[in-house]
Amino acid sequence: MAAAARHPGRVVVVGASAAGLAVVEELRRRDFAGEVTLIGDEPGLPYDRPPLSKQLLAGEWEADRLLLRSPEQWDALDVTYRAGTAAVGVDTDARVVRLADGGVCGYDALVIATGARAVHPPALGAGLSGAQVLRGLPDALRLKAALAGSAGGGRLVVVGAGFVGAEAAAVARGMGVPVTMVDPLPLPMVNVLGVEIARLLAAVHEENGVDLRCGTGVSRVTTDGDGRVDGVELADGSRIAATTVLVAVGARPAVDWLAASGVPLGERGRDDGVLGVLCDARGQATGTVWAAGDVAAWKNPATGRYVRAEHRLSATEQGRAVGAALLGAEPTPPGLPYFWSDQYHLKLQSYGATGRDMAFAVVEGAPAEGRFVAVYGHLDADGRPRQVDGVVAAGMARALRGWRQAVLDHAPWPAQSPDPDLAPVNGPVSSSS
């Protein structure tokens, strides 16, 4: 069997979360009988991140419910799991990963699944008591405790109205904590959702009592005489008192440990010039190095561009695809990008490409009622959409399934928007409009 001869004997996966787990499970599902080592810098068994800003923060779930697999399921995978051990370097010639405890781990195939780290700039209070990010379980538990202490007096300032910030703001309001949310963009999540849906989100946050300050950034976090956070200063010169500051301004791929390794890292795009581990369309970065999940920028064969997703389902899909490819399986076409976000009663779901610079039309329901399906289309050279490229919906699960299929089918752009006021939106916006 030619394919079997190519199988690596020892697979090392660095990063023990959604993507890393998916690699390991796919290898075993395909009866890979070689050695599998999983290296993760967090203690304990791998857990899921999306509930951190939702059910865990709200106190609806305890931490053990976040575990991705039970101890028994881990045992069955027959993996050497090095928990609480960071990888600090890799020698791709010698095929060895260097560990923080001084150890080394040899591989025939290496999978990089180290995800992303939340950005916390010094001006926004990195290292100060009362200012924090939200990426891991300890962050979520710290924020939860801070919110519990703030309900009787205090204020949470959320810096950044993206997914994580907006979800945390919603949970905090549910706990009765006063919240101010600040973002230099004109509306929450506008770059991802476009103007109409971002307007809906802004309205929902304001109805729920969030003091929303869009269109201006936070220039610095301020402290009291004891070095504890006591507020933020905005770029417009105003000041907001705060007991807790949540910095939710994005994440960067966790590639520091790959410096000087020869593993290709992007040099353009966002993330301070680091685009992630550059891979081909099946997750291969070099002959023996692969990458999956938030850390990986896979080449889109249709556009030739590298794309790094920060979505939970993509992490699992890419991990599975790498596990299969390591064993010589034919690549499966990537699934449709998918994300969801829970904010108050709104359960947003999205498939495909969406964004502010795309045509937009509501095709079912009405955003103002919190039940809708909206479609997005890339604009051609004439500034017109040709096909349905993405969909966002809330409260209309069955209709969403049909429009998801329309995205998969590259269905033609709907001839008429039901509401002429909701013709494609592609212009400048202001938060008051």
Ligand X SMILES: Cc1cc2nc3c(=O)[nH]c(=O)nc-3n(C[C@H](O)[C@H](O)[C@H](O)COP(=O)(O)OP(=O)(O)OC[C@H]3O[C@@H](n4cnc5c(N)ncnc54)[C@H](O)[C@@H]3O)c2cc1C
Site stretch for ligand X (CB under 6 A), options 33-41, 68-76, 154-162, 179-187: 33-41
19 binds ligand X (CB under 6 A): yes
Rounded least distance, CB 190 to ligand X, Å: 18
211 binds ligand X (CB under 6 A): no
Rounded least distance, CB 70 to ligand X, Å: 18
Number of chain positions touching ligand X (CB under 6 A): 37
Question: Which one, of 176, 190, 136, lies nearest residue 15 by Cα?
Answer: 136
For 407, left (φ over 0), alpha (ψ -120 to 50), or beta? alpha
Among the listed residues 187, 195, 200, 254, the single contact to ligand X using CB under 6 A: 254
* Closer of 407 and 429 to ligand X (Cβ): 407
Q: Which amino acid, one-letter code, is at 327? A: L
Task: Map the footprint of ligand X across residues 276-335, applying CB under 6 A.
Answer: 293-294, 310-313, 315
Q: Which helix (H) or strand (E) holds 404?
A: helix 397-408
The answer to whether 319 touches 20, Cβ cutoff 8 Å, is: yes
341 binds ligand X (CB under 6 A): yes
* Closer of 107 and 413 to ligand X (Cβ): 107
52 binds ligand X (CB under 6 A): yes
What φ, ψ does residue 231 adopt, rounded to 5°?
Answer: 165, -175
Cβ neighbors of 400 (< 8 A, separation 6 or more) are 349, 351, 373, 391, 393
Rounded least distance, CB 316 to ligand X, Å: 8
DSSP string, 368-395: GGTEEEEEEE-B-TTS-B-B--EEEEES
The position carrying tokens 């919190």 is 370
Site stretch for ligand X (CB under 6 A), options 37-45, 194-202, 260-268, 416-424: 37-45
Cβ neighbors of 351 (< 8 A, separation 6 or more) are 336, 337, 338, 390, 391, 400, 403, 404, 407
The contact pattern for ligand X, residues 142-161, with x = CB under 6 A and - = no contact, is --------------------
What are the residues binding ligand X (CB under 6 A)? Answer: 14-20, 39-42, 49-50, 52-53, 86-87, 113-116, 134-135, 163-164, 254, 257, 293-294, 310-313, 315, 339-341
